[in-house]
């Protein structure tokens, strides 16, 4: 009897521990509910996270090496004219629900993505000219996609396109990535289960991912998120603010990681819209490169990085962050803090400093306002610091914080503002992704959106260079063009780049194989290779 | 019965009017119909244009409201633009969270308030009176948002903030009421005849103060709901308060109209319950 | 109780005096950033240390007190006058009008006024000095704060209407305006006065709440709301001096409460 009991007990224990070991669960937080599960409609961070964890892509940009790697496609080739890309697909793959994957699914996804009425933001990045996109299914595992005009960096763009099933009844919920969404408790948490049909294996032939499930808690409050990390309830914080990072360094330094400068920068710009409802003499200031350069030189970027970001940022150079290894123009340096030189530049335009008050050539006192979004402490701090810096050259600056929609309305519709301080989130390395910022006709050409024709010679030059890089396939020729764009932007400063923020993250010590990088998603970019320590697995 | 019906009719009209006024306020707030997606550098001009056009249909308020009421009659509350979900689903998933916070807050607030007020009235304990009154006075001086911030810093459950808001009001009102009642002639007589404290309280004081306390109950419900907004926003509780804040920041018309109606309904019901609990003819 | 009230008055006067003499007591000013010493602990130079930009906390506290102590009473005055007008007339006339006004206040109380605040703030000219914008915000708060007080005043006016002396005045032929001005208003004054004192702390607290939510006074001008917002970044309970604004707020509001006649809610 005793022996039987012992056998049963040991079996139960063995089974129990095996189960505990197999049930590894990674936990982290989303800052808001994902707005959509349709990978083509993804806009905000949370949906993007879910897409990254669940979506299978033809080619994957390795976030560490910043090079392309095969994904669902084993091989791909861009045609000489840059309009067509042909993929050879990995054979025998299945979606998470068991539907088999073929060239038809790729064709379906591309057709959906380019559907004009869907207004897919990813689709927009492929839209280079008028006309229809064609997908030719050459064989079950071969597909060629032709665009009406050349698309710059065509292959890299497919890193963002999660392939959907053409035939599955589950529609976008059938996926090819490492995980699939198994439960969605709106407003509270999401459960992702390991995709049994995921194609990747490790070197030893074991199927990936290692971790069985992911729980994504929706948690807006960063304090609570950090607290949960310290308690071991979650395993990582993908991107953490400097203030919380400092707190973590004091309390648990082993968890804090600073991967260095990221792609994200903060910048300010002056309103140069010709029709804007601001006085003409102010427009004249803002349209003068001397004025903009003087403002730029009068701002102490080192202090901004040191005080507003607690040292976890660097003076920004220009359009491209140094983190973007290939495209960054390494001849450029940040504008130095030099108020004397700033005053000399201002004097060239006839400005005079008298009794601490700067006046323009017609005697108008130099006073303007900087708007920024309310609730962003870092921008509020920077704006307040810039206020004091510019007072050093006699400029009076008013800082106005507005709620985000009001701010957007002012900078995109009514143009009733003078200067604006905002940040730019860069997800893509390729200059093609900033075409809508640098082309003078674009809507996101924020200092003067949608110009009928370039307002200045340098804007015309940037237009020419941007178009040239977009229609060239050779990356080194493209870089030459884009280097020149960076130089012009550095000289003219339509955007005054302030700081480049560091990529800060927090990772639990029980999570192994994590290699935080500066590209999004900083910590879980190699999610299928992440492992959890056994003791953590056993407690969950 | 007639009184009840009249109240119900008044509430219905006010709620509908509240919805309309709320919609108008949102419609004419700045940046109505502006979407953050417009700043996405990937977006082409055509696609930005289409985003802007899509918002155009909510601009005509009377048409919007009639359309909305028609749909509401069929049980469809519309879709939230910012969260991309049916409003009904959002409210159904979020309401329990807020109700939970409010009930907990009310229970703890009332419990603490009465537990302190009753002994003060019954035993005339000066020390307790001064200590509790000072505590209540201090709590009354702290803004709700500060409580919420402190609770986050101290890592304490945010729901309890509501209790801290309810407690001082309940305590001060109940204390004054009970102390006055304990000095009424018939209570003194009962005491003089040797009736025990418990009996005096249950037989003579409680019936006397019950109607006034119940009217306080109504007010404290709406007080707790109002406090829920900053608490949920700052302590990150996924309830309707947080939803209302997000809706306000996103100019989410459908969501805001519905939330305004819900909040109006709760306020009115609480006031009405207080009204009905009062004896006929008496006024505050 | 009287002693306590006297003490409260003295305390408030002292605070008001200190904030009026801010320029003398804290010569560094509220806006100057000592960039070499951000987040410093209290020292002889900075009595309450410096904030995250290196600004003197003590100076900011004094100037912030000036803003809150000047503007909250102004807003309270505005809202009490509005409440007296609306509530008094409604209670005096009674009947349908009274019902209508009561329903109207209920409605008013439940509307999302946050939008009006956002609207007004967004519509203000950008180059407006921070002081003007904060004055406008407070006046707006004053215009929105009448509803609760109006209910109280309305029910008091209603009671007064049925008082013997009013009935007597009516019987002797006095009516309309004269009755309102001669008899009703003087008798309503104490309650309006009480409502005024009662609503000062409410406006102080409202401004603090708005400041914490990021809708308060604009940089670099301080107010109690913006100062309390710094508590958010307060890393632990070890920096106790950071709680000075909260203590001052509690003390000042308690003093205001003490000054109010013993009249409590519910309405």
C25-41 per-position pLDDT tens digit = 888 888 899 999 888 88
Q: Mean pLDDT throughout B222-246?
A: 85
Residue B57 pLDDT exceeds 80: no
Interface touch A443/B89, C-beta < 8 Å: no
Under a CB-based contact definition with an 8 Å cutoff, are residues A83 and A134 in contact? no
Burial class (CB in 10 A: 0-12, 13-18, 19+), C180: middle
Q: Which helix (H) or strand (E) holds B275?
A: helix B253-277
Q: What pLDDT score does C261 carry? A: 52
Chains touching C (at least 3 CB pairs under 8 A) are: A, B
b/e for A68-102, b at 16 or more Cβ within 10 A?
eeebbbeebebeeebbbbbbbbbeebbbbbebebb
* CATH number of the domain residue B146 falls in: 1.10.3720.10
What is the distance between the alpha carbons of residues B212 and B175, in angstroms, rounded to a whole number? 12
**Distances, alpha carbon A143 to alpha carbons A55, A106, A111, in Å:** 19, 8, 13
What is the distance between the alpha carbons of residues B22 and B26, in angstroms, rounded to a whole number? 6
Interface touch B219/C253, C-beta < 8 Å: no
Q: Which residues have C-beta within 8 Å of that of residue B61, sequence separation ≥ 6?
A: B20, B23, B24, B27
What is the distance between the alpha carbons of residues B139 and B167, in angstroms, rounded to a whole number? 8
**Which residue(s) pair with A511 in the sheet?**
A532
pTM assigned to the model: 0.87
Q: Which of A367, A381, A385 lies closest to C127 in CB terms?
A: A367
Q: Mean pLDDT throughout A433-449?
A: 89
Residue from B235, B248, B87 nearest A186 by CA = B87
What is the distance between the alpha carbons of residues A91 and A98, in angstroms, rounded to a whole number? 14
- On whether any CB of chain B is under 8 Å from the CB of C24, the answer is no
Q: What pLDDT score does A116 carry? A: 86
Q: Using DSSP, how many helices (H) and how many strands (E) does chain C show?
A: 12, 0
Under a CB-based contact definition with an 8 Å cutoff, are residues C141 and C206 in contact? yes
What is the distance between the alpha carbons of residues B223 and B165, in angstroms, rounded to a whole number? 8
- Which residue of C115, C120, C247 to mutate against B (max B Cβ within 10 Å)? C115
Contacts of C213 in chain B (CB under 8 A): 145, 230, 233
* Domain presence at residue B89: yes
Under a CB-based contact definition with an 8 Å cutoff, are residues A506 and A186 in contact? no
Summarize pLDDT for A153-162 with one digit per residue, the tens.
889 899 999 9
* Domain presence at residue B56: no
* Domain presence at residue B59: no
Summarize pLDDT for B167-214 with one digit per residue, the tens.
998 998 899 888 888 888 888 888 888 888 888 888 888 888 887 888
* Domain limits, chain C: 65-264
Question: Residue A17 — pLDDT band, cuts 50, 70, 90?
Answer: very low
Which range, A265-269, A373-377, B177-181, has the best average confidence (pLDDT)?
A265-269
Interface touch B142/C249, C-beta < 8 Å: yes
Angle between helix C57-93 and C130-144 (nearest 10): 30
Helix or strand or coil: residue C133? Answer: helix
> Residue B182: which domain range?
80-277
Q: Return the percent helix, strand and coil in chain A, to nearest 5.
A: 35, 25, 40
Summarize pLDDT for C48-94 with one digit per residue, the tens.
888 888 999 999 999 999 888 889 999 999 999 999 889 888 888 87
Question: Domain total for chain B?
Answer: 1
Nearest CA in chain A to C232: A223
Identify the CATH number of the domain defined by range C65-264.
Answer: 1.10.3720.10
Q: Mean pLDDT throughout B253-265?
A: 86
Question: Residue A98 — pLDDT band, cuts 50, 70, 90?
Answer: very high
- On whether any CB of chain C is under 8 Å from the CB of B192, the answer is no
Question: Residue B277 — pLDDT band, cuts 50, 70, 90?
Answer: low
| Strands, E assignment, A141-188 | 142-146, 179-185
* Domain presence at residue B74: no
What is the distance between the alpha carbons of residues A154 and A133, in angstroms, rounded to a whole number? 13
Contacts of C31 in chain A (CB under 8 A): 388
Question: Residue A22 — pLDDT band, cuts 50, 70, 90?
Answer: low
């Amino acid at each position: 009897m005793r022996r039987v009991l012992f056998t049963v007990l040991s079996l139960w224990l063995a089974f129990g521990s095996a189960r505990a070991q197999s049930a590894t669960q990674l936990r982290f937080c989303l800052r808001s509910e994902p707005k959509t599960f349709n990978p083509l409609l993804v806009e905000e961070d949370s949906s993007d996270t879910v897409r990254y964890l669940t979506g299978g892509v033809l080619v994957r940009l390795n976030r560490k090496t910043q090079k392309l790697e095969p994904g669902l496609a084993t091989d791909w080739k861009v045609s000489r004219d840059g309009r067509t890309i042909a993929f050879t697909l990995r054979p025998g793959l299945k979606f998470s629900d068991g539907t088999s994957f073929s060239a038809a699914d790729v064709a379906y996804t591309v057709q959906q993505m380019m559907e004009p009425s869907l207004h897919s933001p990813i689709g927009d990045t492929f839209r280079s000219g008028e006309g229809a996109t064609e997908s030719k299914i050459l064989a079950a595992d071969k597909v060629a996609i032709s665009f009406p005009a050349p698309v710059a960096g065509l292959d890299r763009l497919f890193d963002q396109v999660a392939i959907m099933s053409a035939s599955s009844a589950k529609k976008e919920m059938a996926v090819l990535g490492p995980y699939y969404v198994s439960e969605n408790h709106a407003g509270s948490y999401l459960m992702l289960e390991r995709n049994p049909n995921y194609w990747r294996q490790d070197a030893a032939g074991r199927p990936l991912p290692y971790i069985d499930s992911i729980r994504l808690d929706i948690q807006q409050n960063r304090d609570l998120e950090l607290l949960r990390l310290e308690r071991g309830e979650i395993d990582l914080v993908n991107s953490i603010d400097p203030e919380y990072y400092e707190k973590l360094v004091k309390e648990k330094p082993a968890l804090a990681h600073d991967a260095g400068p990221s792609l994200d920068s903060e910048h300010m710009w002056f309103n140069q819209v010709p029709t804007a409802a601001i006085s003409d003499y102010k427009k004249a200031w803002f349209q003068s490169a001397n004025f903009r350069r003087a403002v730029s030189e009068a701002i102490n970027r080192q202090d901004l990085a040191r005080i507003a970001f607690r040292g976890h940022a660097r003076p920004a150079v220009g359009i491209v962050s140094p983190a973007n290894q290939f495209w960054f123009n390494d001849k450029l340096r940040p504008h130095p803090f030099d108020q004397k030189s700033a005053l000399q530049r201002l004097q060239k335009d006839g400005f005079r400093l008298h009794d601490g008050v700067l006046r323009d050539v017609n005697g108008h006192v130099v006073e303007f306002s900087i708007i920024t979004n309310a609730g962003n402490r870092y921008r509020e701090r920077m704006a307040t610091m810039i206020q004091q810096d510019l007072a050093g050259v006699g400029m009076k600056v008013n800082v106005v914080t507005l709620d985000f929609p009001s701010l957007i309305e002012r900078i995109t519709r009514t143009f009733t503002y003078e200067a604006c301080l905002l940040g730019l989130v860069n997800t893509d390395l390729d200059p093609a992704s900033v075409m809508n910022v640098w082309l003078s006709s674009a809507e996101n050409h924020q200092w003067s959106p949608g110009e009928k024709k370039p307002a200045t010679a340098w804007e015309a030059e940037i237009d020419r260079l941007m178009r040239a890089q977009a229609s060239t396939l050779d990356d080194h020729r493209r870089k030459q063009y884009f280097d020149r764009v960076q130089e012009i932007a550095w000289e003219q400063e339509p955007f005054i780049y302030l700081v480049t923020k560091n990529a800060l993250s927090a990772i639990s010590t029980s999570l192994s194989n994590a290699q935080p990088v500066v590209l999004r998603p900083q910590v879980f970019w190699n999610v299928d290779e992440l492992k959890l320590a056994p003791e953590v697995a056993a407690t969950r | 019965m007639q009184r009840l019906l009249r109240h119900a009719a008044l509430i219905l009209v006010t709620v509908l009017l509240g919805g309309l006024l709320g919609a108008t306020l949102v419609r004419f707030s700045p940046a109505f119909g502006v979407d953050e997606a417009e700043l996405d550098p990937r977006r082409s001009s055509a696609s930005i244009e289409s985003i802007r056009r899509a918002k155009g249909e909510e601009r005509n308020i009377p048409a919007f409201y009639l359309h909305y009421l028609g749909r509401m009659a069929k049980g469809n509350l519309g879709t939230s633009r910012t969260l991309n979900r049916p409003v009904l689903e959002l409210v159904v998933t979020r309401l329990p969270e807020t109700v939970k916070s409010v009930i907990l807050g009310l229970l703890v607030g009332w419990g603490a308030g009465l537990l302190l007020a009753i002994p003060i009235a019954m035993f005339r304990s000066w020390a307790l009176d001064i200590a509790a009154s000072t505590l209540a006075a201090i709590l009354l001086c702290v803004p709700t948002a500060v409580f919420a911030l402190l609770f986050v810093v101290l890592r304490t459950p945010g729901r309890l903030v509501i209790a801290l808001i309810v407690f001082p009001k309940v305590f001060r009102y109940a204390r004054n009421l009970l102390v006055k009642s304990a000095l009424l002639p018939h209570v003194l007589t009962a005491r003089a005849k040797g009736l025990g404290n418990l009996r005096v309280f249950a037989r003579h004081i409680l019936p006397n103060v019950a109607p006034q306390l119940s009217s306080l109950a109504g007010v404290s419900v709406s007080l707790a709901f109002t406090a829920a907004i900053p608490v949920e926003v700052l302590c990150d509780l996924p309830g309707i308060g947080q939803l209302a804040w997000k809706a306000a920041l996103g100019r989410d018309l459908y969501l805001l109209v519905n939330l305004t109606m819900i909040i109006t309904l709760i306020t009115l019901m609480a006031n009405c319950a207080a009204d009905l609990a009062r004896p006929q003819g008496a006024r505050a | 109780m009287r002693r306590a009230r006297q003490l409260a008055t003295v305390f408030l006067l002292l605070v008001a005096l200190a904030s009026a003499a801010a320029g003398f007591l804290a010569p560094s000013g509220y806006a100057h950033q000592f960039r070499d010493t951000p987040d410093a602990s209290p020292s002889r130079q900075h009595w309450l240390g410096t904030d995250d930009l290196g600004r003197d906390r003590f100076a900011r506290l004094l100037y912030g007190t000036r803003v809150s102590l000047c503007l909250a009473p102004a807003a309270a005055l505005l809202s009490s006058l509005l409440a007296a007008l609306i509530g008094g007339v409604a209670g005096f006339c009674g009947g349908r009008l009274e019902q209508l006004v009561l329903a109207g206040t209920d409605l008013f109380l439940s509307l999302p006024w946050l939008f009006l605040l956002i609207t007004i703030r967004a519509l203000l000219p950008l180059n407006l000095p921070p002081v003007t914008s904060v004055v406008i915000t407070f006046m707006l708060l004053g215009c929105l704060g009448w509803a609760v007080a109006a209910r109280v005043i309305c029910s008091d006016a209603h009671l007064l209407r049925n008082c013997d002396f009013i009935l007597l005045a009516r019987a002797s032929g006095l009516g309309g305006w004269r009755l309102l001005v001669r008899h009703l208003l003087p008798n309503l004054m104490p309650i309006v006065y009480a409502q005024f004192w009662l609503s000062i702390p409410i406006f102080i607290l409202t401004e603090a709440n708005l400041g914490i939510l990021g809708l308060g006074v604009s940089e670099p001008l301080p107010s109690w709301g913006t100062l309390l917002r710094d508590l958010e970044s307060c890393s632990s309970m070890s920096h106790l001096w950071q709680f000075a604004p909260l203590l001052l707020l509690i003390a000042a509001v308690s003093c205001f409460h003490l000054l109010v006649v013993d009249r409590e809610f519910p309405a």
